[in-house]
Every structure is written in C-alpha cells, then in structure tokens.
Amino acid sequence: MSISDAQLQKMATYIRSYILRTAEMHGHRNAFFRANARWTHTLNTAQNLKLILEGENAPADVRDVTEVAALFHDIDHYTVQHEYHAARGAETATRFLTKEGYDPAFVKRVAKCVREHDRDLDDNIPIDKQVAELVATLDLECRMVMDADTLDKIGVSNILQAVMSMSSADKRQVVDAARELTSGWPLQRAKLWKALLTTETGKRLGEERFAFYETFLKQVEVEIVMHDPYTEVTSMQEVAPLSST
Ligand SMILES: [Fe+2]
Ligand SMILES: [Fe+2]
C-alpha cells in the first residue's frame, strides 16, 4: 500500500480543521493563532520525519505509517490535558482512518506511533537510562516519529519559540531577547531534548542543530551589547536639550 498525495491532503484538511475547531471550542485564548502555530509544528515534524526516513533508508511501509502518524501526532493537543493528548490523538486517528477504509493493521501501527510519541520523563531516573529503556521497548518506526517531533524543539525552532514566548513581546527590545536567549535556560532545554533522540539520523540532526544554536548564542554575545557601560538615564527630564541656545 502506498499513501497518495490526495489521501495525505484529505488527512491534512481534516487534522488542520480539527485542531482549529477544538482550540476554539475549548476556549483557548488566541485560538486561531495557536492552532496555526500547532499546524506549523506539525508540518515541521513531517518534514523532519522525511529527513529521518531518508537517513535510515526506511522501507515503503514504514514511510506510510510514520508520515500519517506525524500528521496526526498532535491532533488532540487542545481537547485534553497535555499528558493525555497522545492517547486521545491515537483514538482520533483510528476513528478517521478506519472510517476512510484503511487496513486495520496499518491503522494500528499509526495509532501506536501517535500514542507513544509523547513520553513523560521521570525526574528520579537518569535520562540515559530512560532513553535506553525507550530504545529497547519501542519500535524504530515510532521512535522516528518521536525524533521528528523532538527535532522541532532544537535549533532554529527553539530560538524563535524562545523569543516569541517572552511575555509582552511588544515591550521587549532586542537586548531583552538577547539577554533571555543567553540566560541559559533555552539552551538547557534544547540540550535536554537532544538527549531524548534515539535514531541515528535523529541524533545526527540533533547534534547539528544544537551546534548551530550554540554558535548563534555566541554570536549574540559578540554582536549585542548587553551591559551598558555608561550611567543610565532614568527619566526624560534628564535628557539634555539638543541645543543650548
Ligand atoms: Fe505531542
Ligand atoms: Fe508535537
């Protein structure tokens, strides 16, 4: 079986409108904006997946399963609490694909990848142990979808996300963004995501994106003056008149 572009288009239309409708229904603020951001993340995930499939030389059946799973993976982002979104998404994908007449074995594989894409980390267990457990217990095809999702949280996406998620962005200046970005937490978060990658291609891409992130932050420090060496002007009254005449 091979999934056609027309089939993918039908799924994409369904998923996109489902995300939009549920974001609105569940009363999320800026529902339209958020739903579109989620869709962009979905597209990035699908694109990352293609790179992984190439790198891992995946067979046609794995391509079909994972490409569909990548599209569905966050469909229920707005319908339930975050910890349940993967399980609920698997149910929604199953319902849609079954109704559309897809082979039950195929539907089952897609549902598994959607259900397993989001794992809760246990703070009490070392991360490498949890990752080893993941590699030992989860199919490669599902780990490909997981990595594709995770890669969207490292590198350029992470940088843009970190800048945009700062509160009251309209009052922020470049120097505030520079300070926040170089404060440590965005890179720390990217490093954590990188540690969760388990496929060979995912890990390679993660290293590349993380290295870019580090280089970018170093360049921020080179180009942006974050500490003013002069005494601050605290009010407009202190601003010297332009001319003394
Ligand atoms: Fe997710
Ligand atoms: Fe996701």
pLDDT at res. 243: 67
Q: Read off the pLDDT band of 129 (50, 70, 90).
A: very high
Ligand number nearest CA of 148 is: 2
Question: 232 pLDDT exceeds 90?
Answer: no
* pLDDT tens-place string over residues 87-102: 999 999 999 999 999 9
Tell me the CA–centroid distance for residue 136 and ligand 2, in Å.
22
* pLDDT tens-place string over residues 140-190: 999 999 999 999 999 898 888 888 877 665 667 888 888 888 988 889 989
What is the residue extent of each domain of the chain?
Answer: 1-121
Tell me the CA–centroid distance for residue 242 and ligand 1, in Å.
56
pTM of the model: 0.90
Longest dimension (CA), the chain: 86
* pLDDT tens-place string over residues 33-77: 889 999 999 999 999 999 999 999 999 999 999 999 999 999 999
pLDDT at res. 26: 82
Tell me the CA–centroid distance for residue 74 and ligand 2, in Å.
5
pLDDT at res. 31: 87
Tell me the CA–centroid distance for residue 139 and ligand 2, in Å.
18
Lowest mean pLDDT among 28-32, 107-111, 163-167, 168-172: 168-172
Ligand number nearest CA of 114 is: 1
Ligand number nearest CA of 43 is: 2
Tell me the CA–centroid distance for residue 143 and ligand 1, in Å.
13
Tell me the CA–centroid distance for residue 76 and ligand 1, in Å.
9
Evaluate whether 8 touches 63 at the Cβ level (below 8 Å).
no
Q: How far apart are CA 149 and CA 147, in angstroms?
A: 5
**For residues 118, 138, 124 and 213, what is the CA-based torsion angle, rounded to 10 degrees?**
-60
Backbone torsions φ then ψ of 30, nearest 5 degrees? 55, 45
pLDDT at res. 198: 97
* pLDDT tens-place string over residues 193-205: 999 999 999 999 9
